[in-house]
Amino acid sequence: MKIALVYMNTEMNVGRGAGYIAGAVLDAGHTLSFFDSAFIPPMQIARQIVRDNYDVLLVSTMTLVFPMALNMIRYVKQHSNPVVLVGGIHPTIIGETLLEEHGEIDYLCIGEGETMVTEFLNHLGSNSLFEVNNLAYRKDGQVFANRLNPPEDLTTIPPFPWQAFSDQAIVQKPTGFLYVTATRGCPYNCTYCCNGIYLKHYGKDYIRFRPVDQVMAELTYLKKAYRPDLFYFGDEMILADTNYAISLFKAVKARFNTAYGCMIRVEHITPEITRILKATGCQYVGMGIECGDKKFRREHLNRFMSNRKIIEAFNLLRAAGVFTTSYNMIGFPFENDADLTRKTVRLNQAVKPDYAQVTIFHPFPGTKLYDHCLEKDLIDWQRMATRERYYGESVLKGFNLQHERINIEKFLNPQGFRFKPLNRGKASGQGLRMNLKKTGRPSIPVN
């Protein structure tokens, strides 16, 4: 079979979900071509899929880019007839109703997909296909959704195929950051985050940890291939297991002369954790504030840290010489949003992060705040249909916050983003490539 996998993407980044699916397909012995829509327009991808006559089209999509994915699939289906399987966060959130609404999609993967996609390809064309877990399908005019597999075992999943992605996406410019992950999942259920959908599907088993030696082997390859200035652990909850995180950080310190950074919740920052971060070479930490109003965070965001704890966490890291970024939102779907924004700005002034990032609230389906927006009829659906980046502008009626967001960031960051890792190396920008076409489309090699 000729199989194409399209990562629907508008950012200069590496898609972990799409990448692991590609790795699973390759590990099962299939031939695969990988397309990243950040580097080649979706309709150009569609024309190439039609021209090359693929048998199977796999699409990994998030909610904001689903309309773009749908247009691409429609074009493909109008001009050829590959089997189309759509996976990613959007079908996981919406579920099998997507098949009722969109006839051009043949199948959905709901939930994690490494095991599912290999079984899907192995059983395609036989009646046993309808027994594959995580699959939603049509049969006899009806739509069905099978039960889910348990969460993937991170000790056995195939290696991540870094060669599928552009060097520009792997090493971020100008920072020299290379995003890596050691865990999967998050135990928290913030009201604006889609993580709650996975918790509903998988429960407490959703948070998992890769073996430290497995992570070290991957970092060893990445260090040699890409020479990043900093490994950034973009895990949602790297400190969910403190002992695991400490073992990981110590291993990074022992193995590499490369700085690292990570994303942490302020509740996990203690004097002891700060000491370990400093001793093991951590130079960058991102932490969420989201809103400067403690009562609002507790009642509407399901975040229970106090302002005092937020200030304490940032102070500890500053004293240790760790560069900090705070994550903040404006544009909440409540009448007092302007007051909330003022409190967020004031709290950042008290916290004094090295950089304050400001984004605009976006109501993602499946979240509690999305349901609130539906109930109050707050969403401008025309805006919603055309928004490809959640930080660009609000999709709420009467909200125009793009200029305010930019002005707040400039006010809080008069000198801009000025992080430079110590022991800064020279990022090569040249990875170990495999059949990279001049169009920018990495094509994973055939066996």
For 36-67, what is each residue's pLDDT tens digit?
Answer: 999 999 999 999 999 999 999 999 999 999 99
Matching fold, domains 2-145 and 172-412: no
For 132-154, what is each residue's pLDDT tens digit?
Answer: 999 999 999 999 999 999 999 99
Question: What's the order of all strands across the beta sheet hosting 355-360?
Answer: 177-180, 230-233, 259-263, 282-290, 323-330, 355-360
Judge residue 73's burial from the number of C-beta atoms within 10 Å of its C-beta, 0-12 exposed, 13-18 middle, 19 or more buried: buried
- According to the model, what pLDDT value does residue 388 have? 82
Q: Which residue has the tokens 């996406």?
A: 169
Residue 244 binned pLDDT confidence (cut-offs 50, 70, 90)? very high
Statement: residue 440 has pLDDT above 60: no
Among the listed ranges 180-194, 373-387, 415-429, which one has the minimum average pLDDT value? 415-429
Please give the sequence-ordered ranges of beta strands (E in DSSP) within 73-112, or none if there are none.
83-87, 107-109
Among the listed ranges 3-12, 124-133, 156-165, 426-435, which one has the minimum average pLDDT value? 426-435
For 195-223, what is each residue's pLDDT tens digit?
Answer: 889 999 998 889 999 999 999 999 999 99
Instruction: List, as one string, the DSSP characters of 263-285.
Output: E--GGG--HHHHHHHHHTTEEEE
Q: Where are the domains of the chain?
A: 2-145, 172-412
Assess contact for 53 and 80: CB atoms under 8 A: yes
- According to the model, what pLDDT value does residue 423 have? 62
Please give the sequence-ordered ranges of beta strands (E in DSSP) within 25-125, or none if there are none.
31-36, 56-60, 83-87, 107-109
Statement: residue 439 has pLDDT above 70: no
Statement: residue 376 has pLDDT above 60: yes
The whole-number average pLDDT for the span 71-77 is 98
For 230-240, what is each residue's pLDDT tens digit?
Answer: 999 999 889 99
Could you tell me which CATH class the domain 2-145 is placed in? alpha beta
Statement: residue 34 has pLDDT above 80: yes
Statement: residue 430 has pLDDT above 70: no
- According to the model, what pLDDT value does residue 295 have? 97
The whole-number average pLDDT for the span 421-429 is 52
For 251-303, what is each residue's pLDDT tens digit?
Answer: 999 999 889 999 999 999 999 999 999 999 999 999 999 999 999 999 999 99
* Pairing label, strands 142-145, 135-139: antiparallel
**What CATH number is given for 172-412 in this structure?**
3.20.20.70
> In whole numbers, what is the pLDDT of the chain averaged over residues?
92
- According to the model, what pLDDT value does residue 106 have? 98
Q: Which long-range contacts (CB under 8 A, 24 or more apart) does 135-144 make?
A: 135/107, 135/108, 135/109, 135/110, 136/91, 136/95, 136/96, 136/98, 136/99, 136/107, 136/108, 136/109, 136/110, 137/99, 137/106, 137/107, 137/108, 138/99, 138/106, 143/96, 143/97, 143/99, 143/100, 144/96
CA distance 44 to 38: 12
CA distance 344 to 340: 6
- Rounded to the nearest 5 percent, the helix, strand and coil shares of the chain are 40, 20, 40
Q: State the amino acid at position 67 in one-letter form.
A: P
Percent of the chain with pLDDT over 90: 87
The 3-state DSSP class for residue 408 equals: helix
The whole-number average pLDDT for the span 429-436 is 32
Q: Nearest CA to 7 among 39, 30, 47?
A: 39
The 3-state DSSP class for residue 8 equals: coil
- According to the model, what pLDDT value does residue 386 have? 86
For 339-357, what is each residue's pLDDT tens digit?
Answer: 999 999 999 999 999 999 9
- According to the model, what pLDDT value does residue 390 have? 72
